[in-house]
Amino acid sequence: MNRIRRARRDKEEGEAKFKHFQDRLRMYRKRVEKHLASVALLAANFQAKHKKAQAARDEELTKLKKVIEKVESKGPC
C-alpha cells in the first residue's frame, strides 16, 4: 500500500515539476521572441537610415562631379 501511495506521490510531484518547467520555458520563449523582434526593428531602422545617408552622399558626389566637369570644360585659366 505504501508503494502505491509513494508511486502516486512521485507521479504527482513529477507532473508538477514538468508543468513548472513548461511554464518557465514559455516565459523565456516569450522574452526571447520580444528581444528578437526588437533587434529586427532596430536593424530595419538602421538600414533605412543607412540608405537615406547613402542617397545623400551620392547626391553630393554627383553635384561635385558636375562642378568638376564644369571647371574642366572651361579649360586652364
pLDDT at residue 77, rounded to an integer: 60
Cell output for 45: 531602422
What does each of the 77 residues of the chain score in pLDDT, given as a tens digit?
Answer: 788 888 889 889 989 999 999 999 999 999 999 999 999 999 999 999 999 999 999 999 999 999 999 888 887 76
Determine the straight-line distance between the first and last CA of the chain, rounded to whole angstroms.
112
- Global pTM reads 0.56
One-letter identity of residue 47: Q
